[in-house]
Amino acid sequence: MAEQGHAIEIGRRVIARLRAAFDDSALQRTPFLDQALGDLAAALDQGEGQKLGGKSAEATRFILRAIDRALDEA
């Protein structure tokens, strides 16, 4: 999650990586990670013709930091 780039794109890649890690049993699901992934998906949800930016990027960065801390503590 220490990637460089736009928070929205990083968030999408993190969702994909975490889901793959769960599927491969490389990472165990926890209530916090499930909630954080749901929150992250909601922050990245965009309506048709809608651009993601400001508030979505800020929420994504906040959630990514929380996920990063949770993984460091695991």
Whole-structure pTM over 0.85, yes or no?
no
Which structural domain range is residue 61 located in? Answer: 7-73
Q: Is residue 39 part of a domain?
A: yes
Residue 38 neighbours by CB under 8 Å, 6+ apart = none
Contact 15, 37 (CB under 8 A): yes
Q: Is residue 44 part of a domain?
A: yes
Q: Is residue 55 part of a domain?
A: yes
Q: Is residue 18 part of a domain?
A: yes
Q: Is residue 1 part of a domain?
A: no
Helix (H) or strand (E) holding 72: helix 54-73
Place of tokens 């889901």: 19
Q: Is residue 2 part of a domain?
A: no
**Of the candidates 42, 35, 50, the residue with the CA atom closest to the CA atom of residue 11:** 42
pLDDT of residue 33: 93
pLDDT of residue 6: 76
Q: How many domains does the chain have?
A: 1
Write out pLDDT tens, residues 13-67. Answer: 999 999 999 999 999 999 999 999 998 988 887 644 555 556 777 888 889 999 9
Q: Is residue 21 part of a domain?
A: yes
